Amino acid sequence: MFLYEAPIWLILTPFVLICAAAYFCAWRYHNTNDFKKSIKLYAPLGVVCALVFWMLGLPLLIGIFMVLAGLAMLMFFSNRFFYSDS
């Protein structure tokens, strides 16, 4: 299946789930200011998400790229928590 043949829910649902996982990992360790702990929590979640997306019918390479994009979002979320007053 080509990406342009995929239904829109198959593209948007994994993207939203990856964003939620990245936010959760950054939020979980927001008081420690230790990015390494967030990555250690995100890595297994990312692998599981990529495999679930593949089983749902999304190409594996696209799932892996979404997980890497989620890692970039994790960096931004962690930076937000690091510099915020909360």
* Furthest CA-CA distance within the chain: 46
Indicate if the pLDDT at residue 84 is higher than 70. Answer: no
Q: pLDDT over 90 for what percent of the chain?
A: 36
pTM: predicted TM-score of the whole model, two decimal places: 0.81
What pLDDT shows up at residue 3? 63
Give the CA angle between residues 14, 51, 4 to the nearest 5°.
Answer: 50
42: buried, middle or exposed (CB in 10 Å: 19+, 13-18, 0-12)?
buried
Give, to the nearest 10 degrees, the angle between helix 35-56 and helix 8-28. Answer: 160
Cα 38 to Cα 33: distance, rounded to the nearest angstrom = 9
